[in-house]
Structure 1
Amino acid sequence: MLPEAIIEILPDLNQAFLETLYMVGISLLIAVVIGLPLGVLLFTTDKGLFLENRFVKSIVGFIVNMVRSIPFIILLVALLPLTKILTGDVIGPTAASVSLSVAGIPFFARIVETALKEIDKGVIEASVSVGASPWMIIKDVLLPEAKPAVIQGVTITAISLIAYSAMAGTIGGGGVGDLAIRFGYYRYDNTVMFTTVVVLICLVQVIQYAGDIFAKAVDKR
């Protein structure tokens, strides 16, 4: 038998779980769509690469590092005016997705850059020597070679966003974190707090397991 406190919040727990999936899903999609080309840009404009550009590298790198250096809870509050403009609200999972996306983009971009740096420079030099265009090198050499590491990066980013989403609950962002604050912390109910922690741990484990399987499946080395 489940404890009475768990039974009482079960409908709220189901809704909170779906809200967490919703805001993490949206922010992860945006982080990948914007962070992937940003990571490629950070790599290809580095010294000695085929799109070397010190100015672009410095500017993009500075912006990425600046956003990453801001603690998420501060970023969450600082972006409330932008969140209001984009979503029309400052609470709820949709509003929380704005801050999560902004935090996820530079995080994933650095992961992509690191993954690309692991590629053998000889492969890139060979592509340049045969006259391949920058787009062809990116599309046919860099991304296929780095695919397993990028998929692992998506997994790491998703797990980080889950942790951030729980933090968003402190200002009414919805999701499991919000439930833990309202029912676990404010009501001093350790059973509810423990349950929400277990739910988040299980979600992280499933994502990590799925990401590992997918990364191994696409790794042809």
Structure 2
Amino acid sequence: MENIISLLPELQKAVLETFYMLVLGLTTSTLFGGVIGIYLYLWKQERLLKNNTLHFIVGGLVNIVRSFPFVILMIAAGPLARVVVGTTIGPIAATVPLSIAGIAYFARLVELALLEVPRGTIEAAQSMGATLPKIVFSVLLREARSPLILGFTTLTISYLSYSAAAGIIGGGGVGDLAIRYGYYRFQTDIMIVTVLGLVLFVQIIQMIGNYISRKLDKR
């Protein structure tokens, strides 16, 4: 307990750094990944914006990013992080590879969620003269809101795992604290506390996501 109490200020700082990474990374991934996922869906549908070429190219790029192990992606994205934020270390720099991985991951989750919307619902909206933006925002996103919430929950949990791994390259956060004290200094109690904290946080996120998804599921 003495080790844990003495490290409380650093633990609080690590939690805040992890929070910054989650907020910045999730915001970027949700916005850009959501848009890409919607277009991947539209490019796949015959009666909407079907374009096999764009779907193949963009979908291929998404698959390439998703195939990278995150540790390798963090290293490879170092030069880009330096250009964007001026450094390759720290929680802000870590959001660059986090965002790249999250955008690709969430794009696929959005596409899969939209594919669950019955074709009949879309055809009914088209028969009533609904425009494409109306179909996207009033039909697709509305009907797919429950799986979209579950997808966002999965993304958040994955982000928490990725942010912990960011400690390997000095990204800060809880993962960095666990590595510096729990691994390099053999302070097992610090490692246990951080792992238990991450497990608890994941359980809370999943419970909240499941609850909201059930409330929004009208099927």
Q: CA deviation at 1:220?
A: 2.7
User: Among 177, 181, 184, which residue is 2:182 paired with?
Assistant: 184
Q: Distance in 1 between matches of 2:128 and 2:45?
A: 21
Q: CA deviation at 1:8?
A: 1.6
* Residue 197, structure 1, aligned to residue 195, structure 2: yes
1:131 paired residue number: 129
Q: CA deviation at 1:130?
A: 2.5
1:41-120 superposed matches below 5 A: 41-120=39-118
For 2:40, the aligned partner's letter is L
Alignment partner of 1:132: what SS?
coil
TM-score (norm 2): 0.97
Tell whether the 8 Å contact from 1:93 to 1:173 is kept in structure 2 after alignment: yes
Q: Distance in 2 between matches of 1:129 and 1:51?
A: 16
Q: CA deviation at 1:49?
A: 4.0
Q: Distance in 2 between matches of 1:49 and 1:43?
A: 11
- How big is each residue's C-alpha offset from its partner over 1:130-149, in whole Å with a ceiling of 9 and x where there is no partner? 32211111011100000011
For 1:24, the aligned partner's letter is L
Gaps of 5+ in 1: none
Q: CA deviation at 1:47?
A: 4.5
Q: CA deviation at 1:11?
A: 1.2
1:24-35 superposed matches below 5 A: 24-35=22-33
1:11 paired residue number: 9
2:167 paired residue number: 169
The number of residues matched between the two structures is 219
Gaps of 5+ in 2: none
For 1:82, the aligned partner's letter is L
2:212 paired residue number: 214
TM-score (norm 1): 0.96
1:143 paired residue number: 141
For 1:15, the aligned partner's letter is K
Q: Distance in 2 between matches of 1:152 and 1:144?
A: 14
Q: CA deviation at 1:35?
A: 0.8
For 2:167, the aligned partner's letter is G
Tell whether the 8 Å contact from 1:47 to 1:54 is kept in structure 2 after alignment: no
Taking every aligned residue pair, what percent have the same amino acid on both sides? 47
Root-mean-square deviation (Å): 1.0
Alignment partner of 2:28: what SS?
helix
